[in-house]
């Protein structure tokens, strides 16, 4: 368990070198405050209610212990050596978390998992995921404030287990929303470019950097060129399909022209991409393309 791991990282044999008190957390905290215990290990979501309720005088009796990056690295090596998934990641508990806390603390954290049976219908769990993320801001407990899609996605990418089809559906819908947002930004920038230069750009890079010899350029029209959710560059086609003046494309998950399902090309002239029906997909691990995209940024 976590306690045994933390002790072993500091070369302490908890069976030989320690006396373990298995009192309930609130009772153990009272013992700690009165000097009957040397330390207290507790696994829970920050902020802990029992620590938030302490007065400044009581809190000053405690010293929250912080892990170093070296100790965190040893925990990762511990699981890698055994060929096991690495369930922990390094997080900061800011010094403003508790009124009596005077410094930032770094510790181990584990992701919380919503586990669904494979037999459950994808659409049912898909609606549940949408409800959780869309309503998280209205939930009262402060822990829900940390439930952000970008953070959850980064943790999902690290999981070595297959994902339920409903999760794939939800993540793909969020990708479509992000792509649509990028398309909207590109279209506004292209309109400004066309207004200044009386022609369309020959590439998306012309929105960021002036083409050689173009004296009417008044950009940059974009600060930078975003990547699509899979870490691939967008493509500008002049003219576009369907008699359009131009077209912006995301080449889908595989980053190649054509494809079906999640690999299909997505066009700026399709309208609101995420409003269409999203087909259920079988659970699978993240592809190398998706991992690359998350490493390069949201």
| pLDDT tens digit sequence for 106-146 | 988 876 766 666 666 777 778 888 887 777 777 666 666 66
Give the pLDDT confidence of 16-50 residue by residue, as tens digits.
877 888 889 899 999 999 999 988 888 888 888 89
CA distance 194 to 201: 7
CA distance 73 to 77: 6
Q: Does position 160 have pLDDT exceeding 80, yes or no?
A: no
Q: What's the CATH fold of domain 1-110?
A: D-Maltodextrin-Binding Protein; domain 2 (3.40.190)
- The stretch 101-107 carries a mean pLDDT of 91
> Which part of the chain is CATH 3.30.700.10?
166-296
> Which part of the chain is CATH 3.40.190?
1-110
Rg over CA atoms, the chain: 25
CATH of 166-296, one of 3.40.50.720, 3.10.20.30, 3.90.1150.10, 3.30.700.10: 3.30.700.10
């Amino acid at each position: 368990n976590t306690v045994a791991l933390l002790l072993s990282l500091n070369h302490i044999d908890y069976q030989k070198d320690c006396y373990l008190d298995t009192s309930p957390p609130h009772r153990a905290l009272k013992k700690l405050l009165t000097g009957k215990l040397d330390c207290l290990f507790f696994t829970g979501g920050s902020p802990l209610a029992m620590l938030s309720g302490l007065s400044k005088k009581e809190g000053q009796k405690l010293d929250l212990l912080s892990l170093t990056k070296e100790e965190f690295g040893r925990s990762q090596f511990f699981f890698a050596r055994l060929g096991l998934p690495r369930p922990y990641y390094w997080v900061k508990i800011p010094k403003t978390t508790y009124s009596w806390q005077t410094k930032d603390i770094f510790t181990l954290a584990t992701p919380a998992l919503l586990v669904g049976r494979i037999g459950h219908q994808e659409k049912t769990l898909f609606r549940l995921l949408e409800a959780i993320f869309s309503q998280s801001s209205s939930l009262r407990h402060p822990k829900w404030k940390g439930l952000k899609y970008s953070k959850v996605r980064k943790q999902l990418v690290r999981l070595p287990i297959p994902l339920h089809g409903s999760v794939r559906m939800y993540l793909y819908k969020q990708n479509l929303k992000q792509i649509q947002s990028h398309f909207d930004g590109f279209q506004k920038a292209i309109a400004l470019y066309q207004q200044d230069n009386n022609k369309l750009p020959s590439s998306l890079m012309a929105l960021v950097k002036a083409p050689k010899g173009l004296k009417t350029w008044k950009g940059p029209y974009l600060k930078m060129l975003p990547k699509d959710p899979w870490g691939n560059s967008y493509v500008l086609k002049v003219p576009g399909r369907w008699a359009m003046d131009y077209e912006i494309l995301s080449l889908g998950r595989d980053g190649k022209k054509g494809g079906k399902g999640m690999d299909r090309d997505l066009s700026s002239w399709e309208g609101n991409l995420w409003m269409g029906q999203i087909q259920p997909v079988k659970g699978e691990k993240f592809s190398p393309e998706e991992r690359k995209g998350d490493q390069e940024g949201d």
